Amino acid sequence: MKTRITPAFREEAERFRLVFTCENCAHFDPESAGCGNGYPTEPHHRVDLVTRSELEFCKTFELA
């Protein structure tokens, strides 16, 4: 699911300490820096909310 990164979203993500990226996902394999489910990680890994204008949430994200 794609969503725009707005100033309000940046503020809420910081305030509520939202996590949604691969490095916080139970399916992430740190050794290979890949997804244990075989999905591409580029859209969800180390997302920089400051420089990006759009975020692609992974539907199979599970909090580690």
Residues that bind ligand SF4 (CB under 6 A): 22, 25, 27-28, 35, 37, 39, 41, 44, 58, 60-61
Cα Rg, the chain, nearest whole Å: 12
In the bound state with ligand SF4, the residue whose beta carbon lies nearer, of 44 and 55, is 44
Question: Least separation, in Å, of the C-beta of 47 and ligand SF4?
Answer: 10
Minimal distance, residue 30 CB to ligand SF4, in Å: 10
Task: For the chain, count helices (H), then strands (E).
Answer: 1, 4
Burial of residue 58 (CB within 10 Å: 0-12, 13-18, 19+) is buried
